[in-house]
Amino acid sequence: MTRTPCATGATSIAGIALLTLTGCVGLGPGESQAGPSTDATRGDGVQIPDEHGAELVHPLEDPEIFAEMRTAAEDLESLRMGATMTFELDAPWLTQEQHLEMTAEGAADFSEVHVTASLTEQGDPVEDIEAYIQDGTGVENIDDQGWTDSPSSTIDEGTDSTYAAVLEAVIAMEDLLEVDYDDDSYTLEYAGSDAEIFDSLEDPFSLNLDGYEPEETDMTVEVLLDPQTLLMEEFEFTLYTQESPNPISLGMEISVEYSMFNEVPPLEIPEDVLEEAYGPQH
């Protein structure tokens, strides 16, 4: 079986789970959390208050880290997410590169969010989108052609790329991740070809390896945590197929940065946007 090229249907980014390269990877919306606080001394065995007022003794044991990551996310209501994704396909009949950049600010569960996104192929612009999603409906502006009602600009129930979904994917990799600690952060790292890694990320990012098995790829994962909050600041995933008789080679890179935890104000769609999409508001 060969892999279907992913150019077809790559438009309407915001309408497919907040940015989906059809058949490849669907992302949700961030950028890196502000630098670590200097209020507490950092170092091995030093107590540092977390966001809940409790004191964590660093470095934590590995099981504690993953438990604290889940606990920290329970109070997460809003954030900013910035993501980039590159997909490469090399076949005798086609060479293709798609690159997606996006940001989103809003509710942590993406129930309301402001999204901007840009998609290129072979370095050439394909589509720019700005969208607001709120109360199950959305408005979008594609290539600066004007604001229109877009009921499709909602979260695709089949693709959950929220912070919580990515977090659960990382926690599912617990046994395969190497944990390192220094004065600035915890780093969770992986390099290998274990199917569990691909399986964990398949749903949050709509990964598709038609024609390959995960064991036929080289994958890396790197997650950066703030030691005070145990929230993810950065998430990176790469995948490249190994040499094989298959004439198609694939590569993908996903990079996500999270910031403004619980600092994003409630979404307000500008009046001029609503008027252009729906007519005068009463």
Residue ranges and CATH numbers for the domains of the chain are 26-34+58-274 (2.50.20)
pLDDT(176) > 90: yes
pLDDT(109) > 70: yes
Q: What pLDDT was estimated at residue 47?
A: 44
Digit-coded pLDDT (tens) for 114-131: 999 999 999 999 999 999
pLDDT(200) > 90: yes
Digit-coded pLDDT (tens) for 43-98: 344 444 455 445 667 778 778 899 999 999 999 999 999 999 999 999 999 999 99
Overall residue count recorded for the chain in this entry: 282
Q: What is the mean pLDDT of residues 145-157?
A: 71
Q: Compute φ and ψ for 126, nearest 5 degrees.
A: -115, -50
Structure tokens at 145: 């052609």
Among the listed residues 234, 48, 171, 29, the one whose alpha carbon sits nearest the alpha carbon of residue 112: 29
pLDDT(15) > 80: no
The answer, as to whether pTM is greater than 0.75, is yes
User: Are residues 100 and 80 in contact, defined by beta-carbon separation less than 8 angstroms?
Assistant: no
